[in-house]
Structure 1
Amino acid sequence: MPIVFSSLNHPQRVALAAELHSRPFLKLRAPERICHIAVFGHGRNHNAEAQHELLAALCRHFGVTGPAGAASHFQHDFGRFRLKWELHSEFATYTFAERAEAADFERMPIGHVPQEWLLALQGRVLVAAHVVLRKGGVAEHAPVHELFEGASLAASRVMQGAELCSDFAIQADGFSRFVVNDVDMREQQAGRLVQRVLEIETYRMMALYGLPAAQRAVPELNAVEKELAEATAALVRSDGTTEQALLQRITHLAARIENLSLQNSYRFAASKAYFRLVNARIDELREHRIEGVPTVAEFMERRLAPAMSTCEAVAARQDALARRIANSNDLLRTRVGIVQETQNRQILQSLNARAAQQLRLQQAVEGLSVAAISYYVVGLLGYTVKGAKGLGWPVNPDAVIGAAVPLVAAAVWLALRSMHRRLHRAHG
Structure 2
Amino acid sequence: MTTPAPPAAAPTTTATPAVTIRSTAPPAPLRQLLPPDDGLRTLLHNEVHARPSARIRLPALVVFVAVLNEGITREEECAHLRRLPGQEGLTPADLADHFLRLRLGGYSLRWERHSEFTRYVLVQPLPEPAGLGADQPDLCSALAVDPDWLRNLPGRTVAAVQLAMVTHDIADPQAALALGQRWFGGRTIVASLMGNGHSIAVTNFRVREDGFERMLVIAPPGTSETRAGRISQRLLELETYRLMALRGLPVAKTLGPVLAEAEAGLAEVTAQLEARHTSEADLLDRLIHVAAGIERANAEHGYRFSATEAYHGIVRQRIGELRERAIPGTQTIGEFMQRRLSPAIATVSATAQRLAALSQRIERASALLRTRVDIATETQNQQLLAQLTRGQELQLNLQTTVEGLSIAAISYYVISLILYGGKALKSAGLPINPEMAAGALIPLVLWGVWKATQRIHARLHAGAGH
Aligned mate of 1:125, from 133, 143, 157: 157
1:13 Cα deviation from its structure 2 partner: 2.9
Please state whether the residue corresponding to 2:257 is helix, strand or coil. helix
Taking a change above 3 Å as real, the CA distance of residues 276 and 110 of structure 1, as seen in their structure-2 partners, is farther
Taking a change above 3 Å as real, the CA distance of residues 212 and 62 of structure 1, as seen in their structure-2 partners, is same
1:336 Cα deviation from its structure 2 partner: 0.8
More moved, 322-331 vs 130-139? 130-139
Aligned partner of 2:145 in structure 1 is 112
Distance 2:184 2:251 in 1: 30
What does 1:9-48 align with in structure 2 at a 5 Å threshold? 10-11=37-38, 12-42=40-70
Distance 1:34 1:95 in 2: 7
Aligned partner of 1:339 in structure 2 is 376
Taking a change above 3 Å as real, the CA distance of residues 391 and 228 of structure 1, as seen in their structure-2 partners, is same
Aligned partner of 1:255 in structure 2 is 292
1:3 Cα deviation from its structure 2 partner: 4.2
What does 1:308-347 align with in structure 2 at a 5 Å threshold? 308-347=345-384
Aligned partner of 1:158 in structure 2 is 194
Match for 2:194: what amino acid? V
1:11-67 Cα deviation digits (max 9, x unpaired): 333322221111111111221111111111226xxx6xx145314422344232436
1:153-188 Cα deviation digits (max 9, x unpaired): 211111221111111121111111111111356312
Taking a change above 3 Å as real, the CA distance of residues 110 and 347 of structure 1, as seen in their structure-2 partners, is farther
Distance 2:150 2:323 in 1: 38
Unaligned stretches of 5+ in structure 1?
A: none
1:423 Cα deviation from its structure 2 partner: 4.3
Match for 1:312: what amino acid? S
1:308-365 Cα deviation digits (max 9, x unpaired): 0111100111111111110111111011101111110111111011111111111111
Aligned mate of 2:413, from 369, 376, 381: 376
Match for 1:6: what amino acid? R
Aligned mate of 1:71, from 86, 90, 97: 97
Aligned partner of 1:4 in structure 2 is 29
**1:58 equivalent in alignment to 2:81:** yes
Aligned partner of 1:93 in structure 2 is 119
Aligned partner of 1:210 in structure 2 is 248
Taking a change above 3 Å as real, the CA distance of residues 185 and 116 of structure 1, as seen in their structure-2 partners, is closer
Distance 1:57 1:408 in 2: 111
Match for 1:23: what amino acid? R
Taking a change above 3 Å as real, the CA distance of residues 185 and 270 of structure 1, as seen in their structure-2 partners, is farther
Taking a change above 3 Å as real, the CA distance of residues 256 and 110 of structure 1, as seen in their structure-2 partners, is farther
Distance 2:402 2:177 in 1: 118
1:381 Cα deviation from its structure 2 partner: 1.6
* 2:76–2:154 CA contact under 8 A, matched in 1: no
Match for 2:52: what amino acid? P
Match for 2:109: what amino acid? L
1:343-398 Cα deviation digits (max 9, x unpaired): 10111111011111111111111111111121122112211112222222111222
Please state whether the residue corresponding to 1:181 is helix, strand or coil. strand
Match for 1:412: what amino acid? V
Distance 1:331 1:265 in 2: 26
* 2:191–2:200 CA contact under 8 A, matched in 1: yes
Taking a change above 3 Å as real, the CA distance of residues 261 and 57 of structure 1, as seen in their structure-2 partners, is same
Taking a change above 3 Å as real, the CA distance of residues 299 and 41 of structure 1, as seen in their structure-2 partners, is same
1:148 Cα deviation from its structure 2 partner: 4.2
- In the alignment of these two chains, the number of paired residues is 421
What does 1:142-291 align with in structure 2 at a 5 Å threshold? 143-148=179-184, 152-159=188-195, 160-183=197-220, 186-187=223-224, 188-239=226-277, 242-291=279-328
Normalising by the residue count of structure 2, what TM-score does the alignment of the two structures yield?
A: 0.84
1:217 Cα deviation from its structure 2 partner: 1.2
* 1:161–1:184 CA contact under 8 A, matched in 2: no
* 1:131–1:179 CA contact under 8 A, matched in 2: yes
Please state whether the residue corresponding to 1:36 is helix, strand or coil. strand
Taking a change above 3 Å as real, the CA distance of residues 157 and 55 of structure 1, as seen in their structure-2 partners, is farther
* 1:57–1:117 CA contact under 8 A, matched in 2: no
* 2:62–2:163 CA contact under 8 A, matched in 1: yes
More moved, 397-406 vs 162-171? 397-406
Distance 1:393 1:276 in 2: 122
1:127-167 Cα deviation digits (max 9, x unpaired): 11111111114735874345548965211111221111111
* 2:124–2:144 CA contact under 8 A, matched in 1: no
* 1:73–1:86 CA contact under 8 A, matched in 2: yes
Bigger Rg, structure 1 or 2: 2
Distance 2:319 2:266 in 1: 43
1:88-130 Cα deviation digits (max 9, x unpaired): 11111100011124245523465613515633535x1111111
